[in-house]
């Protein structure tokens, strides 16, 4: 699972860089667009960065619990978090044309999916014998 998060995190960061290039090269220039589409473009770009960093952090530090029910909850949370970057790439491509009041739900669902994933990880750790807060290797 750590490897999947790490790879998805790196791919999402690459998508963030590429979406930045789309913003830079967009015609008409994004900074000259009306506020609605401009805000949607930029916010989806930033959401993609957040999803990439979240996956990268889990790829670096996730430890699956030994208890089966906790591990299953972690897996479920991880699967949700792994979906979010793809949803945000779709949001970046589809939502700006609809403006702030658009009817697409890709970005909202992606944020919701990430929140559910993190809550699943939190629930998996609540009540555990110990939450390790010491640096690795110490």
- Rounded Cα distance between 2 and 119, Å, is 18
35-90 pLDDT, tens digit each: 666 677 777 889 999 999 999 999 999 988 888 999 999 999 999 999 999 999 98
117 found inside a domain: yes
| Number of domains present in the structure of the chain | 1
138 found inside a domain: no
137 found inside a domain: no
68 found inside a domain: yes
Query: Tokens 């090269």, residue?
Result: 25
Q: What angle do CA 33, 36, 37 make, to 5 degrees?
A: 55
Q: How confident is the model at residue 101 (pLDDT cuts 50, 70, 90)?
A: low
Query: Are the C-beta atoms of residues 45 and 92 closer than 8 Å to each other?
Result: yes
14 found inside a domain: yes
118 found inside a domain: yes
Q: How confident is the model at residue 94 (pLDDT cuts 50, 70, 90)?
A: confident
Domain holding 18, by residue range, is: 2-125
Residue 137 has pLDDT above 60, yes or no: no
Q: Give me the mean pLDDT over the 115-124 stretch.
A: 95
Q: CB within 8 A of 40, min separation 6: which ones? A: 95, 96, 98, 99, 100, 102
132 found inside a domain: no
- Rounded Cα distance between 89 and 24, Å, is 17
């Amino acid at each position: 699972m750590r490897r999947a998060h790490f790879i998805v995190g790196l791919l999402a960061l690459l998508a963030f860089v590429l979406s930045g290039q789309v913003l830079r090269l967009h015609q008409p220039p994004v900074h000259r667009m009306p506020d609605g589409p401009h805000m949607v473009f930029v916010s989806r770009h930033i959401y993609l960065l957040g999803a990439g960093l979240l996956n990268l952090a889990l790829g670096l530090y996730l430890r699956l619990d030994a208890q089966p029910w906790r591990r299953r909850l972690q897996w479920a949370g991880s699967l949700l978090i792994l979906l979010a970057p793809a949803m945000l790439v779709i949001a970046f491509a589809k939502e700006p044309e609809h403006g702030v009041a658009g009817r697409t739900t890709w970005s909202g669902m992606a944020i919701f999916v990430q929140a559910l994933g993190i809550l699943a990880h939190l629930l998996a750790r609540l009540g555990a014998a110990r939450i390790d807060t010491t640096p690795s290797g110490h």
